[in-house]
């Protein structure tokens, strides 16, 4: 049974701060563990800044931070085992730990990639051609995704963030919207794009 907005707000508050009664906590946990859409969307809106701050404490680059924040919520959406790792108490505290661990893993991978790149600083002509081919393929994939899958209401955010590659703050200013609104639309776009690329939902 879908949860009403009022009950969902109370349950989210209880999970974040432990202030709701046992009945509401149990109902919210069931919804969270089951991955109910309303529950996870509210979690995203309420905890976006929490996750962003946790990632920022480990990773400095704005683009890397934004990517990592969305990866955390992707995991939350796709991984039931991860959701079941939250057993109650402070949702914000639990998400800070999840986000920090993901950021640390990412930073370690990046250091390894930089080390490997330094060992082979001059790519061959074949390697450069392969990189160009990959870039062209990625561009074509984005164009097909925009034309075939992406809802019109998210087109402006898609262009600003994925085509023009503006950072979130600049994109929000240029589009005349709040950064949190833009971030949520970007999150929905990334979900669609990931499904399109990884799960073969191509026309």
**Could you read off the pLDDT of 66-93 as tens digits, one per residue?**
888 888 888 888 888 899 999 888 999 9
Mean pLDDT of 97-124: 65
Please provide the DSSP assignment of the chain as one string: -PPPHHHHHHHHHHHHHS-S-HHHHHHHHHHHHHT-HHHHHHHHHHHHHHHHHHHHTT---HHHHHHHHHHHHHHHHH-HHHHHT--SS-HHHHHHHHHHHHHHHHHHHHHHHHHHHHHT-S--HHHHHHHHHHHHHHHHHHHHHHHHTS-GGGHHHHIIIIIS---HHHHHHHHTS-HHHHHHHHHHHHHHHHHHHHS----
Does the structure show a pLDDT above 80 at 124? no
Least reliable range by pLDDT among 26-35, 40-49, 81-90, 129-138: 129-138
| Per-residue pLDDT, 156 | 92
Residues spanned by CATH 1.10.1740.10 within the chain? 1-121
The answer regarding whether domain 125-203 maps to CATH 1.10.150 reads no
Q: How confident is residue 34, by pLDDT bands cut at 50, 70 and 90?
A: very high
Which overall architecture, per CATH, does domain 1-121 show?
A: Orthogonal Bundle (1.10)
The mean pLDDT of the chain is: 75
| Per-residue pLDDT, 143 | 78
| Per-residue pLDDT, 137 | 63
């Amino acid at each position: 049974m879908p949860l009403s907005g009022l009950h969902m707000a109370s349950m989210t508050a209880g999970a974040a701060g432990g202030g709701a009664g046992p009945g509401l906590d149990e109902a919210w946990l069931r919804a969270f563990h089951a991955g109910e859409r309303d529950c996870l969307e509210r979690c995203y809106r309420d905890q976006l800044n929490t996750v962003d701050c946790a990632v920022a404490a480990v990773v400095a680059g704005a683009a890397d931070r934004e990517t990592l924040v969305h990866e955390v919520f992707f995991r939350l959406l796709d991984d039931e085992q991860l959701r079941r790792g939250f057993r109650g108490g402070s949702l914000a505290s639990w998400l800070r730990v999840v986000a920090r661990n993901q950021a640390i893993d990412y930073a370690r991978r990046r250091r390894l990639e930089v080390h490997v790149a330094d060992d082979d600083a001059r790519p061959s002509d074949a390697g450069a051609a392969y990189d160009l081919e990959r870039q062209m393929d990625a561009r074509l994939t984005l164009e097909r995704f925009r034309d075939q899958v992406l809802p019109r209401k998210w087109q402006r955010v898609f262009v600003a963030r994925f085509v023009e590659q503006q950072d979130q703050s600049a994109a929000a200013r240029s589009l005349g919207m709040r950064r949190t609104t833009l971030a949520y639309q970007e999150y929905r776009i990334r979900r669609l794009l990931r499904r399109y690329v990884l799960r073969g939902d191509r026309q």
